Amino acid sequence: MTWKRAVSEIVLDLLDKKEFTAPELREYTSLLESEYPNNNNIESDILGTLQYLRNMGAIAFVDNQGTYKLTKHGRLILLEIIAKDTSR
């Protein structure tokens, strides 16, 4: 499983609440550390992936406090990222 797929799946899980924060996503750090034991930059990679998902149009900033929400087509974009990883 790629890093982007793993974080995309977590974001989908968090979006049952409609909005989520970067600190909420960081609560998954231990899970990601167990899946990616050689990654010594988990937290910065999480933030980088959030920027990637924002640039792809999947999520959008709600405020300057690190709150994100799914965009109109966000779920579809996230599912496409996950599907691309599955088809490899």
User: Domain-by-domain residue ranges, the chain?
Assistant: 3-86
**For the sheet containing 19-21, what is the strand order?**
19-21, 67-70, 59-61
Question: Which one of 3.40.1390.20, 3.90.740.10, 1.10.10.10, 3.50.50.60 gives the CATH number of domain 3-86?
Answer: 1.10.10.10
Residue 1 has a pLDDT of 78
pLDDT digits over 34-80, tens only?
A: 999 999 999 899 889 999 999 999 999 999 888 999 998 998 999 99
Mean pLDDT value of segment 24-39: 91
Mean pLDDT value of segment 8-18: 82
Residue 88 has a pLDDT of 54
CA-to-CA dists, residue 40 to 50, 61, 67, angstroms: 18, 26, 25
